[in-house]
Amino acid sequence: MENQYDKLIEDLKQKNQVVMLTRFKTVNEAGKIVIEKSLISKDELESVDTQLQEAIENILIKGLPELITTANKETVLCEPFYSEGRLIILGGGHIAKPLAKYGADIGFKVTVVDDRPSFANEGRFPEASQVLCESFETCFDRLQVNASDYVVIVTRGHRHDAVCLRQVLESEPEYLGMIGSKRRVKNLMELLVGEGLDEGKLNQVYSPIGLRIGAVTPEEIAISIMAEIISKKRLSQSATEAPKKRQTNQSDFDYEVLENLANDDTEKRAIVTVVSKKGSVPRGPGAKMIIWADGRSRGSIGGGCSEAEVSLVARDLLQTGSGYHTMKVDMTGSVAEDEGMVCGGIMDVLIEVYP
């Protein structure tokens, strides 16, 4: 049977959103549980029954996983997954260096492009997943900018800015920002409108770039840019509007965990998934960790004694060899106080044996 996590990672390279359905089926009188996983995208909803269609549409809107029970008493975990956001930095100068570091620190896969070997090299950008030493005219065939990318134009000159903006604009990335003074930006925008570029799309470019925090040094400017990117990601802020109340969430999964599950490893593992939460907890719905029978783990649902409790249940489940278990993790009151945690919420988690 095809590894659905491997397929998930491949699908996310082509699609912005994919939903994984994990069905827990009771197959005989002894109560044996069979777990089946499948993937579905928004344009494939007609292939599932009406109840699941409605649930998946809801999940895609909310951006969070949900455990549902179907009309025939089947338990299904519906999880939305999203393309891994790349931070593409066009220009390898003094602002790009801290920007790449901060971007990697908060979880972006960072790509840096510059046409100068002394600026485009792994020694200068050790945190980057990819460093391209290539002209701005030709690099976009390799970059393949898509709708889930965050693009920052910080080249060394007006001409290079124009080249990048012409190329990126049609890709309509999640975020597109360009550095420059108001005058420089105004002149460039007028030039591009005169060439026939879409004025509406140009108005969506974040420029001058970064939140207005009085940034002066390269590090401060990089922080202001990352703050603006986070605002776009978390608050759905557009380039022409003030931040809105949060409209969408996004599942709190780790790509590192997905990559481990995508490996063709026959050793049984327990997958722990945060399905829902109330109050303040360290990780949100969608967060995952893997637990092996010998106590090894990867990923996290928040750490502390609560995670240790889940680990014990997971290892017990692994002894049975199959099945799943749901449990409530309480981080309120004395539990939080004993651990010295600032959180004080409750998580519902699902533990399943895999494969």
Per residue in 287-306, is it b (16+ CB within 10 Å) or e — as a string? bbbbbbeeeebbbbbbebeb
Domain boundary among 31, 61, 82: 82
Task: Look at residue 144 and tell me if it is in a domain.
Answer: yes
Same domain? For 72 and 93 the reply is: no
Q: What is the pLDDT of residue 170?
A: 84
Q: What value does the CA radius of gyration of the chain take, rounded to a whole number of Å?
A: 23
Q: What is the pLDDT of residue 247?
A: 40
Same domain? For 122 and 222 the reply is: yes
Domain boundary among 235, 268, 300: 235
Same domain? For 33 and 120 the reply is: no
| CATH of residue 183 | 3.40.50.720
**Residue predicted with more confidence, 330 or 338:** 330
Query: Is the pLDDT reported for residue 305 higher than 70?
Result: no
Find residue 270's DSSP bridge partners: 291, 353
Average pLDDT rounded to a whole number, residues 312-320: 92
Query: Is the pLDDT reported for residue 137 higher than 90?
Result: yes
Q: Over the stretch 279-303, which tens digit does the pLDDT of each residue have?
A: 877 788 999 999 999 999 999 888 7
Same domain? For 195 and 94 the reply is: yes
Query: Is the pLDDT reported for residue 340 higher than 90?
Result: no
State which residues form the domain around 100: 86-235
Task: Look at residue 140 and tell me if it is in a domain.
Answer: yes
Same domain? For 260 and 341 the reply is: yes
**Residue predicted with more confidence, 355 or 131:** 131
Please answer whether residues 40 and 48 qualify as being in contact, where contact means their C-beta atoms are separated by less than 8 angstroms.
yes
pLDDT-derived band at 62, boundaries 50, 70, 90: confident
Q: What is the pLDDT of residue 52?
A: 83
Same domain? For 141 and 182 the reply is: yes
Same domain? For 183 and 231 the reply is: yes
Predicted structure pTM score: 0.70
Same domain? For 257 and 225 the reply is: no
Q: What is the pLDDT of residue 130?
A: 95
Beta-sheet strands, E only, within the chain = 17-26, 33-40, 66-69, 75-82, 86-90, 109-114, 130-133, 150-153, 175-178, 269-278, 288-292, 297-299, 324-330, 346-354
How far is 155 from 272, CA to CA, in rounded Å?
44
Task: Look at residue 18 and tell me if it is in a domain.
Answer: yes
pLDDT-derived band at 117, boundaries 50, 70, 90: very high
Average model confidence (pLDDT) across the chain = 86
Query: Is the pLDDT reported for residue 116 higher than 50?
Result: yes
Q: Is the dihedral of CA 237, 238, 242, 244 positive or negative?
A: negative
How far is 70 from 182, CA to CA, in rounded Å?
56
Same domain? For 227 and 262 the reply is: no
Percent of the chain with pLDDT strictly greater than 70: 91
Same domain? For 91 and 60 the reply is: no
Strands 75-82 and 17-26, bridge-based pairing? antiparallel
Task: Look at residue 246 and tell me if it is in a domain.
Answer: no
Please answer whether residues 287 and 79 qualify as being in contact, where contact means their C-beta atoms are separated by less than 8 angstroms.
no
Same domain? For 226 and 122 the reply is: yes
Mean pLDDT lowest among 29-33, 159-163, 270-274, 337-341: 337-341
How far is 207 from 193, CA to CA, in rounded Å?
15
Q: Is the dihedral of CA 234, 113, 253, 336 positive or negative?
A: negative
Same domain? For 209 and 285 the reply is: no
What are the φ and ψ backbone dihedral angles of 212, each rounded to 5 degrees? -80, 90
Q: Is the dihedral of CA 261, 38, 60, 310 positive or negative?
A: negative
pLDDT-derived band at 1, boundaries 50, 70, 90: low
Domain boundary among 186, 210, 235: 235
Task: Look at residue 242 and tell me if it is in a domain.
Answer: no
Task: Look at residue 241 and tell me if it is in a domain.
Answer: no
Per the structure, the count of domains in the chain is 3
